Amino acid sequence: MTAQPELAQIAFTDLARHGGRPAVITDDGVITYRELAGRVDDFAARLGTERRLVLLAARNALDSLVGYLAALSAGHPLLLVPADKPAALESLVAAYDPDVVLRPGEGVPVLEERRPGSRHELHPELALLLSTSGSTGSPKLVRLSHANLTANAASIAEYLRIEPDDRAATTLPLHYCYGLSVVNSHLMRGAGLVLTDLSVVDPCFWDLFRDSRATSFAAVPYTFDLLERVGFAEADLPHLRYVTQAGGRLAPEKVRSWAGIGRRHGWDLFVMYGATEATARMAYLPPDLAAEHPGTIGVPVPGGAFRIEPVEDLEDGELVYTGPNVMLGYAEQPADLALGRAIHELRTGDLARRNAHGLYEVVGRRSRFVKLAGLRIDLGQVERILAELGVTAAAAGSDDGLVVAVEGEHDSSLLTKVLAGSVGLPRAAVGMHSVERLPRLTTGKVDYPAVRRLAAQAPPAAPETPSGDRDDIRRIFAEALDRSDIGDGDTFVSLDGDSLSYVAVSVRLEQAIGRLPADWHLLSVRELERRRKPRRRVVSFLETSIVLRAVAIVCIVATHVHLFHFQTAHLLFAVAGYNFARFQLGGERAPRLRRHLRSLTRIVVPCVAFIAVAYLLTDDYSVANVFLLNGMVGPQELTTQWHFWFVEMLTYILIGVTALLAVPWADRLQRWAPFGFALGLVVMGLISRYDIMDPGLPKPAPVFWLFALGWALASARTGVHRWTVSVLTVLSVPGFSSSATSTIHEVTVATGILLLIWVPALPVPTVLRRVVGWLAAASLYIYLTHWLVYPVLLPLSPVLAVGGSLVVGVAYWALCNWLPAAIMRRRRSVVPAPAVSPGSPPMEDRARKTKLDTIPRLPYPVQEGP
């Protein structure tokens, strides 16, 4: 049993002294301090008197608040983790083996007692453990004492002048030190908490904010981007007294702008600077100085102090903080929980200066790390990535962005694209600057401050514009397939073309040649060149599958926006099967298996990446969504977690057929009887379509039969085959839909498949030819992104919501389309050409033997559908 701490130190846990004042305001009503104290005391009794390590899966709800306060008031060291990140929770449970785990409950947490006592040696001063890396589940934790929590809460309450009548909305997570400091500082002064997990883009949040007479909320830089979207600058919030900002650097121009908005509407903007290691805050910028000194972090919080320690070879020194809120130290394993104070001052790693007005300004990082877009970027790794490409470079930066100087002449635009993709940063966060020689100090070391100054001296180099005939057949194939080895006898299929590049190539060929034959993808470059007869046309003909994809995705978005109701998603499974069979079934078993896996990767990677972002930015999705498992383990009722059902079902299907065709006998059967094999798949699909057998296992929606119908159509070689697929379509489609507009839905699916069977091309106005091609190629990406785009634009206009969703989806497609090709082009450009000697093979053969051919080729990402 470990010693109990002096609990009187935690002033904000003495709740009952505030009596009947409102403590917590939620959608369900108001809880007074007296009532909250009763709940906390009751739950503290359940935790027991022997000190134990408690892990709380925290959310912005009453149960988590009660658990947090109960553990602190009873003296139990508390480890806070996000409730909505199960992987992080389980990682920390495994790393620290807590004695008690508190999970979300109704009003109070669900108590999971893992042992009656404690297996840990817990230092008497230890009160709270917070992660240093957000919600990743890293075992490195910050150890905070009772004195740390009380001192920082008192300091914040003092400079924000928090009074009992104040009420703060919980816009940040409870497990985040910034969000937690809002709770602590308000409870210390007997103020109220408007407890909610609603986003600031949700109109319900602002209804609650007004109804509860809230006076403040906390924001990180990204929050201000969201506030701009919802028109916060003109909102009528009569009780708002101030807004606080921390969690990263807010650009000076934005600080000045928002401070001005606050002045006009009667509220203050407090820009703050802090770290988990300082419990929360170390500095704040007084609101009346924000407009004049927007680039500074201000002055130390009450009770704290800064000093600037000189750094060799640098003009600015390192910012060092001292104060009662400095952590005890770090913990990286359970044994560290017994340690006492290991540090007395916090070396921030930030380079700073103090101006003539006594305000501190952070100008960079002493270490070779910067934090951008929420990511910790190793500047040394940036230089190593470029060095591997044969580029001598120096990387510097700040919270504003990454600044890279590259020595000599290089394609700066292409290097930027490669680097941004390698480190996971947005393109706009990387500034690439070509210099004749890297700036260096007299010691010969790189002058990193001079590198940083490049950002202000000159804009990054503009991308080069390629020249040449865009209608040249070879160029069309080279650009769309990212190939430089295009021969006269090559065909689209022999060059490993897939369904996404098929759209891009066919649209451009149609412009260069005219109406394409149905088997153009099997024609050689030489034959396509012979057919080149460009002419001006009012109407062009595009392949039916392309037009169906474009029309279907527009209908999907419009239906979700309620512009009109025309359900088309199921039709796209047939189109996906049709394209799969056309482009993925050629060649020997091993090569085509690799092609299947590449295609699957090109679908899954951009989908998972976007869904992960959606999961982090919203509360609409779960971890199952990120791993494309909601169709297997998700809720039975229709919720937002089913938004990405199409992606999941398509992934399941592609995994299944890839596994099937990897079996030697199945591979041989498919080659021997392509159409018969496809009909067999249709029969298998109809078993799930009509629920003939139920194995009692979780299973996805019955859509495989539609994919198999498309496969059968692509395998059809005679009129009898096509009539067979037509009859199967007419017989199997009716009755599958359970929607309110089931008849229209079923007729749409059947009509689309019949068009695919009997009409090889559809007329499209020539002026819309490229637009249709873009929409078809980007349909999967539009489907992904529109769930986050249209809710933002819908209040303005349904038409704008549809248009904006299409544009953003096409942009995401362009990004995913361009990035792999850019990487490969860059790699090709930095590998030196081999020396030519007498008797050397032709240039094309030599190119195939360079180091580049050890790197897997990454052509445009495949898209089987939507």
DSSP string, 322-378: ESTTS-SEEESSGGGGG-----SSEEEEEEEEE-TTS-EEEEEESSSEEEETTEEEE
State whether residue 76 is helix, strand or coil.
coil
Evaluate whether residue 580 is within a structural domain: no
Q: Which domain holds residue 22?
A: 7-364
Task: Tell me which of 198-212, 241-255, 695-709 is least confident.
Answer: 695-709
Tell me: the pLDDT tens digits for 124-164? 999 999 987 554 467 889 999 999 999 999 999 999 999 99
Phi, psi of 192 (to 5 degrees): -100, 155
Q: Domain check: are 168 and 206 in the same one?
A: yes
The residue out of 415, 440, 457 marking a domain boundary is 457
CA atoms of 200 and 196, how far apart (whole Å): 11
Query: Does 379 have pLDDT greater than 90?
Result: no
307 and 376 housed in the same domain? no
313 band by pLDDT with thresholds 50, 70 and 90: low
Question: Does 300 lie in the same domain as 349?
Answer: yes
- Judgement on whether residues 439 and 308 belong to the same structural domain of the protein: no
Domain boundary among 318, 341, 364: 364
The side-by-side arrangement of strands in the sheet containing 110-113 is: 110-113, 100-103, 54-58, 78-82, 126-131, 141-145, 329-331
Which residues lie below 8 Å from residue 456, measured CB to CB, with a gap of 6+?
A: none
Q: Which of 427, 457, 487 is the last residue of a domain?
A: 457
Answer whether residue 696 is part of any domain.
Answer: no
Coil, strand, or helix at residue 40? helix
Q: What is the reported pTM?
A: 0.50
In a shared domain, residues 126 and 239: yes
Instruction: Please list, in sequence order, all residues whose beta carbon lies within 8 angstroms of the beta carbon of residue 693, skipping any fewer than 6 positions away.
Output: 687
Structure tokens at 828: 């090709």
Q: Does 247 share its domain with 110? A: yes
Give the number of other CB atoms < 10 A from CB of residue 390: 13
Do 162 and 261 share a domain, yes or no?
yes
218 and 145, same structural domain? Answer: yes
The CATH number assigned to the domain holding 174 equals 3.40.50.12780
What CA–CA distance (Å, rounded) separates 596 from 583? 10
- Structure token digits, residue 226: 């969201």
Nearest CA-CA partner of 65 in 19, 12, 139:
12
- Other CB atoms within 10 Å distance of the CB of residue 401: 18
Does a structural domain hold residue 648? no
Give the model's confidence band at 532: pLDDT under 50 very low, under 70 low, under 90 confident, else very high: low
Question: Which pLDDT value is given to residue 231?
Answer: 82
Q: Which has the closest alpha carbon to 208: 189, 234, 217?
A: 217
Count of Cβ atoms closer than 10 Å to residue 465 Cβ: 5
pLDDT in tens, 221-242: 878 878 887 789 888 899 999 9
Per-residue pLDDT reduced to its tens digit, 692-735? 765 554 455 678 999 999 999 988 878 889 999 999 999 999 88
Q: Report the chain's C-alpha Rg in angstroms.
A: 31
Banded model confidence at residue 627, pLDDT cuts 50, 70, 90? very high
**CATH code at position 427:** 3.30.300.30
Distance CA 538, CA 86 (A): 57
Angle at 109 between CA 106 and CA 115, to 5 degrees: 145
Question: What per-residue confidence (pLDDT) applies to 471?
Answer: 56
Please report how many Cα atoms fall inside a 13 Å half-sphere around the Cα of residue 512, on the Cβ side: 21
* Nearest in space to 61 (alpha carbons), one of 165, 149, 215, 179: 179
What secondary structure letter does DSSP report for 842?
A: P
* pLDDT surpasses 60 at 826: yes
Q: CA–CA separation, 243 vs 806, rounded Å?
A: 35
Has residue 310 been placed in a domain? yes
Specify if 574 maps to a domain: no
Band (853; pLDDT cuts 50, 70, 90)? very low
Residue 787 has pLDDT above 50, yes or no: yes
Q: Does residue 92 fall inside a structural domain?
A: yes
**Any bridge partners for residue 30, and if so which?**
25
Label residue 538 by pLDDT band (50, 70, 90).
confident
The model's pLDDT over 165-188, given as tens digits with 9 standing for 90+, comes to 999 999 999 998 999 999 999 999
- pLDDT, mean over the chain: 83
Helix, strand, or coil (residue 247): coil
310 and 445 in a common domain: no
List the structure tokens of 164: 């009992």
Lookup: tokens for 670: 């498919």
Nearest to 190 by CA among 168, 212, 217: 168
Query: Do 270 and 378 sit in the same domain of this protein?
Result: no
For residue 616, give every residue at least 6 positions away whose Cβ sits within 8 Å of its Cβ, in sequence order, or none.
none
Residues 386-444: tens digit of each pLDDT: 887 778 899 988 766 789 999 887 777 778 877 877 776 666 678 888 888 888 764 45
Q: How many distinct structural domains can be found in the chain?
A: 2
Give the confidence band of 445 by pLDDT, cuts at 50, 70, 90.
low
Query: pLDDT: is 827 or 521 the higher one?
Result: 521
Segment 84-89 shows an average pLDDT of 84
What are 208's strand-pairing partners?
none
Q: Is residue 372 part of a domain?
A: yes
Give the Cα separation of 839 and 847 in Å (integer). 15
pLDDT tens-digit readout, 635-667:
877 888 999 999 999 999 999 999 999 898 998
Tell me what the mean pLDDT of segment 291-299 comes to: 95
Is the domain of 261 the same as that of 308?
yes
